[in-house]
Structure 1
Amino acid sequence: MQCYQISAKKACLILLMFVVNGAQHSQFGDNNMDLSRKSQNFKEVSLKNNPEIMLSHGYCSAHHENCEQVSGFCLSCDMNSTCIYGQKLNATCNVPNGIICMTGKKTFEKEYICRYCYQTEPWEHTCDWKASCNSVAINRSQYTTNCTVNDNIICLGSRTFNKNVYCNWTGGYRWSTALVLSITLGGFGADRFYLGHWQEGIGKLFSFGGLGVWTLIDVILISLHYLGPADGSLYI
C-alpha cells in the first residue's frame, strides 16, 4: 500500500474542482426540471386552446341557446395573425360538433380586434386576485397572476396568460369614516391621524388646520379618494 503526500494547495484545488463539478451537475438538473415544467405548461395551454379537447374534458357546455353565444374557448376561429394591431376584422368561427345550438348556424362571422389576448383591456379579462399581498404608499408592489379572456372576446394566442398586476388590498380603513372625521374634526388633524399620516396630523393640530385652508383641502382630497391610508391600502 502506497501513501501519497498532497500539499494543502493541491488539496484545495481538488476540493474546488469537486465543488464546481457538482454545481454544474445541479444546474443541469435544474434546467432539465425547468424544461420539463415548460413542456408541461405548453402542453396544458395547447390542450385548453383545442375546442374538441376542451369539450371532451368538460370545459365547454354541450348545450347553448344560440351558437353565437358559445364561449371563445370552445370556438375554432380563422383569424389573420399578420393583421395590423388595433384593426377591426371579421373571423369565421366554427362550433365543434359536440355542441348543440338551439338557434343560429354553427359557422358564423364574428368581429374581433387585431391583438393578442394578453393585450386585451383590463375589463375584457378576469384575473386571480390575491388578498394576502402587501403594498406601500409610494410604490405599490406588483405580483404575477393568471388572467383569462372573457367568453365573448376572441383574440390571437393563448386565452390564458400571466400578467403583472398591482397589489389591491385593504387595511380596514373606511372612506366614509375618514370623510366624516375630515369634515367635523379635520381642524385638529383627526382625519390624518385616522389614516396613519401622523406627521401631517400633528402639523394640522398645532396650526388649527392651517387656519382652515388645510382642512378644506383635505376634505376635497378625501372625497375624491386622492388621499388614502398611509400604508397604501384601499378604502373599504
Structure 2
Amino acid sequence: MIFIAAMTKAWQLLICTAAIFIPGFCRDCQDLRLGQYRCEDERTTNTVGNFVESCEVLDKNRPEEYAWRILCYPAPGISCNDKVFDGETVGFNYTVTCNKKSEKSLETALLLSIFLGMFGVDRFYLGYPAIGLLKLSTFGFMLVGQLVDIILIATQVVKPADGGDYTVDYFGARMYHSPDNLSFPVP
C-alpha cells in the first residue's frame, strides 16, 4: 500500500514537472489570481435583505475563533488541483474570520458609566463583578475611576467580559443586496 502511494506521488511529480508548458496545470486553486475565480457567500439573509453573518466555530481545538466559509468557483477553462473547471463547480472554500458579537450594547454601557458609574453598575453590566463591587464600595474610586471608565468604554478599550465586541446600532444609509448580485440604495 505504501509502495502504491509513493508511486502515485512520483507520477504526480513527473506529470507536474512535465507540465511546465501547460499553464495552470498542477497548481493549487488557493493560488489563483483575482479574476480567475468568483466567490459567493454562504451567509444567510434576513427579511430586510441585509446579510446576517452565520459565524461558527470551524476548529474544535480553538473554540474562541469564529469564521464562515465562502464558496469559490474557478472561471471556465481554469485548471487547478489537477482538474479543469467549468465555472459552476466549487474549486475551494475561502475561510473568513469574524468577530464574536456580544449582547452588550455600547450605548447602554456608556450611559450606565456616565450616570451610574460611581456605583459600579457599568462594570456589573459588562460582566466584571469584582471591579463593580470595588467601585461600589469606594464610590467609583472617588469619581476618578468613573471618569477613567467613561473614557475606556467610549474608546472601546474595555469590552464585555464574554470576549465579544459591542453590539452597535447603525441607523445610516443602507444598501440592499439582491440575489442577482446587484446593489442599490434603499430609499
Query: TM-score normalised by the shorter chain: which range applies?
Result: 0.3 to 0.5
1 or 2, which has the higher helix percentage? Answer: 1
1 or 2, which has the higher strand percentage? Answer: 2
Bigger Rg, which one: 1
User: What is the TM-score normalised by the length of structure 1?
Assistant: 0.37
Give the structure, 1 or 2, with the largest relative contact order (CA under 8 Å, sep 6 or more): 2
User: What is the TM-score normalised by the length of structure 2?
Assistant: 0.46
